[in-house]
Amino acid sequence: MAKSTLPSLFRQPQWPNADCFANPNGQMLTILPTPMAKCTPSCHVDEFADRTEMNILLRKLKKITKINFNNVSHAHGMISSSGSTLFEELGLYYIGPVDGHNMNDLVAILNEVKNTETTGPCVIHVVTEKGHGYPYAERAAAKYHVVSKFDPATGEQFKAKATTKSYSTYFAEALIAEAEADKDIIGIHAAMGGGTGMNHFLRRFPTRCFDVGIAEQHAVTFAAGLACEGFKPFCAINSSFMQRAYDQVVHDVDLQKLPVRFGIDRAGLVGPDGCTHCGAFDVTFMACLPNMVVMAPSDEAELFHMVATAAAIDDRPSCFRYPRGNGVGVELPPGNKGIPLEIGKGRILIEGERVALLGYGSTVQSCVAAATLLGDLGLHATVVNARFCKPLDHSLIRSLAKSHEVLITVEEGSIGGFGSHVAQFMALDGLLDGKLKWRPMVLPDCYIDHGSPADQLNEARLTPSHIAATVFNLLGQAREELEVMTKEKCKEGVQFSSPEMYKVA
């Protein structure tokens, strides 16, 4: 995409002397698996070939800055058979590589580029090293890609000790268990082996795990091709990065009804990763596809079952979303081997009356906690784990709508997601024509900035207290609504459900 913009830049007469910076920093979030580890990915500019011929602007700068460009090397893969760089073939002046950490030379070059008359745009190739100058970051660039609080003297990051593993790790363990029994299962990720847990899969199955680089579009089409040949590809991509590959998901996978399995990591709010990485939209854009099975686990045990479910689906594509962070601490299935779930079937966790809380994914935990708050004030609510957004459990939703005064759907996703699908069904089924009060609780229609997970949930008004307060508001019980909002907030990390509650029925 970046390369395709260069001709556009060249053809703009209103930008005759525009400057463009190419800044490779030698950093990937994960190292490519052997034998690709010995090669430089095409999307990175790390190795250089000698070049002696200089363009006119370069020779001018050489005289002024007294930098010997005769031995300057150019990016590997950027030189054509004619000896010109990719940029020069597009009509752009090319300068570099320049040491981005030598500020004197860099400033001198920038000043001269600014003051020198040219006949077109100029590309300045500035090479930097991620974490340069800070030894701890230089030694562990991937670890310092997203930095939590740390001791500047030792580089030690202050992270709370977790009693459970991350959802990404649980996903990898579930996939490994499936792959042990099925040689056709293939793992694919886009330069996110550590972030998605695929590095664990790589260590167990080095010939069945593919890192395609930062190219989600290619990852999806590659998975589609494997599915055509009878393999069972699992494509692990962050929710926010899946947006890049949506065209391929639609045309190369869903339109052809190919059984590609998508593990959508970092779904929902992502705390310190901020709004750019927030997984708010995946349910909305995946559940609108005609052939896609869309599901979300309420905890890590159910994630194992959904990986098994996806492995068993062989006639259409499927996806399952799971959040950033660690599991809630429920018991895992024996041998890490999940049991395929019945497609499109939810599950009642708590039988109550008057009010039904229909949670999707990780918000099921909040619904259970909200039911506890309601129970303390004399109201016993029904709590349901939806499991599937597509296909919906129509019979279960119909039963809830007919037997309760209030129905609230809760999800950590944007407008147009799970709640919208429930509303569509209920409207067409006539369930909204009577006295039922239905409300969707979703992420607000805005981008939520960096913060702790607890602060972000509070800003999104998706905490157990907010759910309980919404119930009392719909029932016209203002005193109870005020009381539940003034109570002490539920502490982070509390397990609101027993392991038995999530055993496969």
Q: How far apart are CA 278 and CA 301, in angstroms?
A: 23
Tracing tokens 């005289």 back to the chain, one arrives at 63
Residue with tokens 């150019």: 74
Strand partners, 318: 261, 293
For residue 342, indicate whether it is catalytic. no
Q: Which of 60, 165, 204, 244 is catalytic?
A: 244
Residue (of 71, 72, 88, 70) closest to 80 by Cα position: 88
Reported as half-sphere exposure (CB side, CA atoms, 13 A), residue 94 has a value of: 21
Partners of residue 294 on adjacent β-strands: 319, 390
- Dihedral sign for Cα 160, 162, 167, 172, please: positive
Count Cα atoms within 13 angstroms, Cβ side, for 201: 34
Question: Rounded to an integer, what distance in angstroms lies between the CA atom of residue 39 and that of residue 332?
Answer: 39
* DSSP code for 139: H
Residue closest to 330 by CA, chosen among 452, 161, 170, 463: 170
Tokens of 183: 């040689």
Contact at 8 Å (CB) between 127 and 254?
A: no
Distances (CA, A) of 404 to 132, 215, 302, 427, 502: 61, 47, 27, 16, 23
113 phi, psi to nearest 5 deg: -60, -40
- Report the run of H or E that residue 485 belongs to, with start and end: helix 478-486
Task: Output DSSP code: residue 502.
Answer: G
With H, G, I as helix, E, B as strand and everything else as coil, classify residue 310: helix
Q: Do residues 215 and 190 lie in contact, with contact meaning Cβ atoms separated by under 8 Å? A: yes
* 419 three-state secondary structure: helix
Angle (CA) 365-370-373 rounded to 5° is 135
Residue type (1 letter), 381: A
What is the token pair recorded at 184? 């056709």
| Token pair of 122 as six digits | 């100029």
- 216 a catalytic residue: yes
What's the CA gap between 404 and 85, in Å, rounded?
69
CA distances from 475 to 267, 407, 439, 440, 469 (A): 32, 11, 12, 15, 10
- Enumerate residues 6+ apart whose C-beta is below 8 A from 477: none
Catalytic residue among 88, 178, 216, 302: 216
Catalytic residue among 62, 130, 345, 461: 130
Active site residue 112: no
Please give the Cα distance from 356 to 405 (Å, whole number): 8
Catalytic residue positions, numbered? 130, 216, 244
